[in-house]
Homo-oligomer: A and B are copies of this chain.
């Protein structure tokens, strides 16, 4: 799953940041940090959520986004990861399955694949991920479901996963 080539993919932007980063930012968190800047508690929470989703792996592409597009990196971390993915009413696996259905329906194949990986990390089975691809035929048509199934095939292959035949 952590083969180098997957790092070049757009969807990978949402993966983790390094553990080293965490130590330095959490020490600087202040009340007046503007809009989710990288030393705010919200940003730090987002980084924690990301580590939980991504098995603690570092993610070089996110680091690049931090340098070139700091507002986008920080709002992805603080808002998308910290504020939204970090909420507690839904269990994390259900939230990722619902997010997968949204990404697939909108044709966001890379993001679908990344979040399918998160769902696996959270304990979802390959067969549960396939169900999300299947149900997408109803709201969004067959092409989006077929694209999603192809992304899952890549993911399963990268992770050496197979599911029992016949479903």
**Is A122 interfacial (CB-CB < 8 Å)?**
no
Residue of chain B at shortest CB distance from A100: B98
Of B42, B128, B140, the contact of A89 (CB 8 Å cutoff): B128
**Is A158 interfacial (CB-CB < 8 Å)?**
no
Cβ of B137 and Cβ of A140 under 8 Å apart? Answer: no
Q: How many copies of this chain does the complex contain?
A: 6
Which chain A residues (68-90) contact chain B, with CB distance < 8 Å? 68-72, 75-76, 79-80, 82-87, 89-90
Query: In the bound complex, what is the Cα–Cα distance between A133 and B111 (angstroms)?
Result: 17
- Chain B residues whose CB sits within 8 angstroms of the CB of A30 once the complex forms: 31
Interface hub of A82, A144, A163 (most chain B Cβ within 10 A): A144
Question: With contacts A106-B140, A141-B139 known, is A72 near B10, CB below 8 A?
Answer: no
Residue of chain B at shortest CB distance from A31: B31
- Chain B residues whose CB sits within 8 angstroms of the CB of A72 once the complex forms: 130, 133-134, 137, 145-146, 149
**Is A153 interfacial (CB-CB < 8 Å)?**
yes
Partner-B contacts on A (CB < 8 A): 10, 13-14, 30-32, 34-36, 41-42, 64-65, 67-72, 75-76, 79-80, 82-87, 89-90, 94-95, 97-108, 110-111, 127-128, 130-147, 149-150, 152-153, 156, 163, 165-167
